[in-house]
Amino acid sequence: MLEPANQSANPTLGAGRISPSESDRANFVVVANRLPVQQSFSEGNEEWRPSPGGLVSALTAVLQGHDGLWIGWLGVSDHGEPPPTYEGIRLKPVAISPEEYADFYLGFSNATLWPLYHDAIRAPVFHRHWWNTYQEINRRYATAAAESVAPGGTVWIHDYQLQLVPNMLRLLRPDVRIGFFLHIPFPPSELFTQLPWRREILTGLLGADLIGFQVPHMASNFSRIARRQLGATGTDSVLLFDGRTIRVGAFPITVDTAQITALALDPKIRARARELRRDLGNPEVVLLGVDRLDYTKGIQQRIRAINELYADGTLNGDTHVMVQVAVPSRESDAHYDLERHNLEQVVSEMNGDHGLVGSPVIHYLHQNLPFDELLALYLAADVMLVTPFRDGMNLVAKEYVTCRTDLTGKLVLSEFAGAASELRGAFMVNPHDLDGIKEAVCLALKAGPKEAKARMSRMRRKTMRRNVFDWAQSFLAALQQSNPAAPVDATDDPAPSQ
C-alpha cells in the first residue's frame, strides 16, 4: 500500500513556494504521455470515456484508493478541456501545441527513441531541435507533477516519452518518492550509445528511486550502461549514483485475468465467436493476427510466410483462413501511412494469388475493435500469430492465452517479445526467418489436441498467477521500500524482480 504523505515537509518549486494549496495536492500522482480519458461525441454532445487498455484500468484502481491524480496530454486532435475528475480520480492536462507534437512526439519520441529501442529495425533519426523540444515538454510534465504532489507523496512516471522527468522532478521535489516504468524494450549498449544525448537520458532516469523494466535483461542493459557511461557503481539491481541509491528491477506487466476470463465464458461472446467462424465460411482452421499497425510488429513478414504456405499447398483456401487486425496507429505520421500502404499491398497480393470471388484467404481489418469483439476473435482462432521483431512485452499473446479457458488454441510467438520469457508453451519463432515462421505454423497445425492442451495449460498457469493489479501493486510496494532521504548504503537489498 502507498504510505500517507509526510505533511511536515515544506518543498519549494525552483526558487519559490509551490502555488497550489496543500489541500489540492495529491498523495499519489501518475505521469504518462496521455490522460486516461478520450473525447467522443454522441448526437453532437461531448462525452468522455476511459482510454482502452489494461494499464488505464490498473492505475485507475490504484488512484481511486489513494487520493490520486493523473497528469497527461489530452491528444493533438482533441478539443476542449477534460473534466476535472473522472471515475474518482483527478485529471491534470499538459498542453502540447501542434508544432511541439511534431517535434516531441512524432519526432524525438517516435522517430528517434522508438526505432532505437526496438533494435534499430529502422534507422533512428537524430535532430537537435527535436531533442530541444523533448527537453522542454519533459520539463513541463515535471513542473506539473512538482506542483501537484503532496509533501512526501509518490509519483509514478511512465514510458519512453518522459525519460527526463524523474531527475527534473527530483531537483524540484527531493521529498517525494519517484518511480519510473519503461513499457518498451531498453536496448543493449551498442544501440543505446548511438544516441547523442545518452548521458542526459541516463541521468534523467536515475532521478527515480525505482526504475522498472519488462524483463530482467532489459534492466541489466540499463544498469550496465549507467555504470559505463555515468560512472554509477553497484550491481544490476542496485545502483549508487550522485549520493543516492537507485533500485532497478523487472516487473513484467500482464492483463486483467479476471475480466478476460469472465468475458471469455460469456455466452454472448462465445456465440459471437461461433458466428465469426460461420462468417469466415466454417474453415477447419482460423489463423489470427492482432497488432497495432507498426513496423516493429513484423506483420508483413508474417503474411509473406503464410502466403508461401498457400503457394506450396501446405495451406488450402477451402480449409484455412487468416484474419489480420491492424489497429490504426500514429495516423498523422507519413511513415505509418506508408506502412499501411505496403501492408495492404501484401494482403491484396495474397488474396489475388490464392483467394476466390467471395472467399478471400485473408480478411484484413484496419480499425479499432471493441474488446468484446476482439475476445470473440481470440475464441474463434485456432492459431494465434504474434511475431514482432521486438516487443517490450506484448499483451495480445497474454490475452489470447487467458481467454482460452477450455485449453484449446495454439500460440506462435516471437522469441523477441517480452512475453516469450513467460509463455514457454508457445511455438517459438525467429520473426526474421521466413522459413522459421512457416515451420512454426506447420508445427502448430500438426499438434494434436493432447499436445495443444498441455502447451496451453502450461501458459495459462503462468498468466493466471498474477493480474495487472498485482503488477501495479508489486511495483508500488517495491517503490515504498525506497527512501529518497536515506543515505547511500551499498549493502541495501535490491528491489525484487517479479
pLDDT tens, residue by residue, 87-101:
888 999 999 999 999
How high is the pLDDT of residue 61? 74
Residue range 4-28: mean pLDDT, rounded:
53
The helix/strand/coil state of 177 is strand
* Cα–Cα distance, 85 to 206 (Å, whole number): 31
How high is the pLDDT of residue 333? 75
Please give the model's pTM, rounded to 2 decimal places: 0.91
Tell me the average pLDDT of the chain. 89
Whether the CA torsion 402, 405, 409, 410 is positive or negative: it is: positive
Question: Per-residue confidence at 18, pLDDT binned at 50, 70, 90?
Answer: very low
Which residues have C-beta within 8 Å of that of residue 217, sequence separation ≥ 6?
Answer: none
Q: Which domains does the chain have, with CATH numbers?
A: 12-254+469-480 (3.40.50.2000), 257-464 (3.40.50.2000)
| Cα distances (Å, whole numbers) of residue 491 to 281, 309, 475, 487 | 64, 56, 21, 12
Q: Is the pLDDT of residue 434 over 60?
A: yes
Q: Is the pLDDT of residue 19 over 70?
A: no
> Are the C-beta atoms of 155 and 185 separated by less than 8 Å?
no
Lowest mean pLDDT among 14-23, 87-96, 208-217, 271-280: 14-23
The helix/strand/coil state of 91 is strand
3-state secondary structure string, 101-157? HHHHHHHHHHHHHHHHHCCCCCCCCCCHHHHHHHHHHHHHHHHHHHHHEEEEEEEEE
Question: Per-residue confidence at 483, pLDDT binned at 50, 70, 90?
Answer: low
Using alpha carbons only, what angle is made at residue 53 by residues 302 and 50, rounded to the nearest 5 degrees?
140
Element at 70 (helix H, strand E): strand 68-73
Q: Is the pLDDT of residue 187 over 60?
A: yes
How high is the pLDDT of residue 234? 96
> For residues 31 and 3, which has the higher predicted lDDT (pLDDT)?
31
The helix/strand/coil state of 93 is strand
Q: Is the pLDDT of residue 59 over 50?
A: yes
How high is the pLDDT of residue 357? 87
Nearest to 186 by CA among 154, 215, 155, 151: 215
How high is the pLDDT of residue 334? 75
* Cα–Cα distance, 82 to 208 (Å, whole number): 29
Grid coordinates in use for 164?
Answer: 527526463
Lowest mean pLDDT among 17-21, 311-315, 347-351: 17-21
Residue range 47-75: mean pLDDT, rounded:
78
Residue range 412-441: mean pLDDT, rounded:
97
Nearest to 182 by CA among 198, 166, 195: 166
Lowest mean pLDDT among 42-51, 269-278, 416-425: 42-51
Which residues have C-beta within 8 Å of that of residue 42, sequence separation ≥ 6?
Answer: none
The helix/strand/coil state of 287 is strand
**Residue ranges of the alpha helices (H) in 355-428?**
371-380, 395-403
Q: Is the pLDDT of residue 64 over 90?
A: no
Nearest to 478 by CA among 292, 133, 238: 238
> For residues 99 and 484, which has the higher predicted lDDT (pLDDT)?
99
What percent of the chain lies above the pLDDT cut of 90? 77
Question: Per-residue confidence at 497, pLDDT binned at 50, 70, 90?
Answer: very low
Grid coordinates in use for 69?
Answer: 491524480
* Cα–Cα distance, 215 to 96 (Å, whole number): 32
Using alpha carbons only, what angle is made at residue 302 by residues 299 and 308, rounded to the nearest 5 degrees?
140
Residue range 191-213: mean pLDDT, rounded:
98
> Are the C-beta atoms of 179 and 155 separated by less than 8 Å?
yes
How high is the pLDDT of residue 205? 98
For 116-175, what is each residue's pLDDT tens digit? 999 999 999 999 999 999 999 999 999 999 999 999 999 999 999 999 999 999 999 999
DSSP 321-368: EEEEEEE---TT-HHHHHHHHHHHHHHHHHHHHH-BTTB-SEEEE-S-
